[in-house]
Amino acid sequence: MDETDPEALHAAARAGDVPSMSRLGCLLADAGQKEPARRWYQAAAERGHTIAMINLAILLEDDDRDAAMAWTLRAAEEGTGLTAQHNYGIFLEEDGRLDEALDLYRQAAERGDREAAEEAARLSR
């Protein structure tokens, strides 16, 4: 399947293909179609797709920070996404929860996230 073909992605997503749901969310978000993108990201996220969880959180961040934090935390807890750990650390840091943020940055850094390592070094000063 051509992952850039919206019709093929729609068909696969409607048939229940979770990666297609997430990819369709990306195409829609890139096209500025925020609400349909949110629906497809959420469908994939609810089925455990961690990339969709992260993308949904990014999409929701300005409008519903609590939901964005919840999806980011869920992705981070899945243990598969360095980006999720790093992003949740940013949320914690913004909320003044510096020790918790530092712990997450360090965990992500130990797993190879260079940006998280820089954040950990900055907070450790």
- For residues 19 and 54, membership in a common domain is answered with yes
Which of 63, 91, 115 delimits the end of a domain?
A: 63
The verdict on 90 and 53 lying in the same domain is: no
Q: What is the pTM of this model?
A: 0.83
- Whether residue 27 contacts residue 9, with contact meaning beta carbons closer than 8 Å, is answered with yes
76 in any annotated domain:
no
The total of structural domains in the chain comes to 2
**What is the domain extent for residue 58?**
1-63
Assess if residue 35 is contained within a domain: yes
Please determine, for residue 2, whether its predicted confidence score (pLDDT) is greater than 70.
no
Residue 72 inside a domain? The answer is no
4/44 same-domain check: yes
List of residues 6+ apart from 42 with CB closer than 8 A: 52, 56
**Burial of residue 81 (number of CB atoms within 10 Å: 0-12, 13-18, 19+):** buried
Percent of the chain with pLDDT over 90: 74
| 50 belongs to a structural domain | yes
Domain termination site, one of 28, 63, 98: 63
Do 86 and 124 reside in the same domain of the chain?
A: yes
| pLDDT tens readout for residues 41-85 | 999 999 999 999 999 999 999 999 999 999 999 998 886 666 888
Mean pLDDT of the chain: 91
Q: Based on the fold, state whether residues 53 and 111 are members of the same structural domain.
A: no
